Amino acid sequence: MKTDTTIPAEMLKTFPPSVLTKRQVKHYGPKPVRGYGAGGAIVAQVRYDDQCGNGHNTFSITAEVRTNESRRHNDIAAGGCMHEEIAKSFPELAPFLKWHLTSTDAPMHYLANTLYHASERDHWGCLKGEPHQWSKVLKFHCSPIEWTAPNWINEDFLSWVATQSPDYFTEDKIRALEHVNGPKESYKFGPKYTVKPDVEKWHECEFDSKREALQWCEAARQGYTVRSVESAWGEGKARELNHARSAAVWPEATDAELSAEPEDLRRVLLARLPKLMADFKTAVESLGFVY
């Protein structure tokens, strides 16, 4: 069972109010930087605004590096979330890097990302070996072979079969449906056959010939069972606790705290969120931004 990753609406109302701003940017540098070529210089950009137009301000720290060569092409040599380089060149910004992509309604995907990285469950929400998909199978009482959807007949048909009595499947229930060509088509396909009363389209029929339909009905009248069986299993994954600390903006979190059961970890994450957002407001304002 997957854990709820939505932040309660009532909690969102308790977060510090923010003034929606379209552009609020500060630049740091340029400063010389090694490893990119002659004349390498790095500029850090810090912003807290609604540049993306998604209705809330978001905090970000990125950087660009230019070299003599890149300047000749009016281009950059490197750019993006260069947080290690930013921390080295602008140590005054290092304490703010943890707030990257935090917005006025929480760090980005606060619960979803933290819970995913902290757990041993894969994207299906499953541990290794846990089933996440089931398929219906049909077994005629006269045969040891189980027929699995969708390899033979689709799941909807088997669900319908499970509601019928074996006595239903007589020759008079078999209907032939002719193929109908679309505009400018000239295909010459023979009829298909169905025993399901609501099937009206050729391609939805279960059987390619009346012989198949008759044989199927004969076997069905002798009795059958429809059941669900596991058909796909989770792969699990390793815990990624450093990623979880980053997603939660919780660098001091212990391995034990992050390895708690998902519901327990969710409660802890929600409990710390109001103070986290208050600290975020303080950090943003300390840089001279209007929160």
pLDDT in tens, 266-282: 999 999 999 999 999 99
Which pLDDT score, from 0 to 100, does residue 60 have? 98
Measured between alpha carbons, how far is 85 from 103 in angstroms, rounded to an integer?
23
CB 287 within 8 A of CB 46: yes
pLDDT in tens, 9-26: 999 999 999 999 999 999
Q: Encoding tokens for residue 228?
A: 């669900």
pTM: 0.75
* β partners of residue 31: 42
CB 147 within 8 A of CB 190: no
List CB contacts of 286: < 8 A, sequence separation 6 or more: none
CA-to-CA separations, 92 to 13, 62, 87, 286, in angstroms, rounded:
32, 14, 8, 12
Which pLDDT score, from 0 to 100, does residue 147 have? 86
Q: Encoding tokens for residue 36?
A: 């990119």
pLDDT in tens, 226-266: 999 999 999 999 999 999 999 999 999 999 999 999 999 99
* Type and span of the H or E element at 135: strand 131-140
CA-to-CA separations, 170 to 176, 180, 194, 230, 265, in angstroms, rounded:
14, 27, 12, 32, 58
Q: What ranges do the domains of the chain cover?
A: 131-233
CB 15 within 8 A of CB 104: yes
List CB contacts of 202: < 8 A, sequence separation 6 or more: 177, 178, 179, 180, 189, 191, 192
Burial state string for 201-222 with b = 16 or more CB within 10 A and e = fewer than 16: ebeebbbeeeeebbebbebbbe
Strands (DSSP E) found in 51-109 = 58-66, 78-80, 102-103, 106-107
Measured between alpha carbons, how far is 176 from 210 in angstroms, rounded to an integer?
8
Measured between alpha carbons, how far is 201 from 115 in angstroms, rounded to an integer?
46
Pick from 273, 265, 291: nearest CA to 3:
265
pLDDT in tens, 117-176: 999 999 888 999 999 999 999 999 999 999 887 656 788 999 999 999 999 999 999 999
pLDDT in tens, 52-110: 999 999 999 999 999 999 999 999 999 999 999 999 999 999 999 999 999 999 999 99
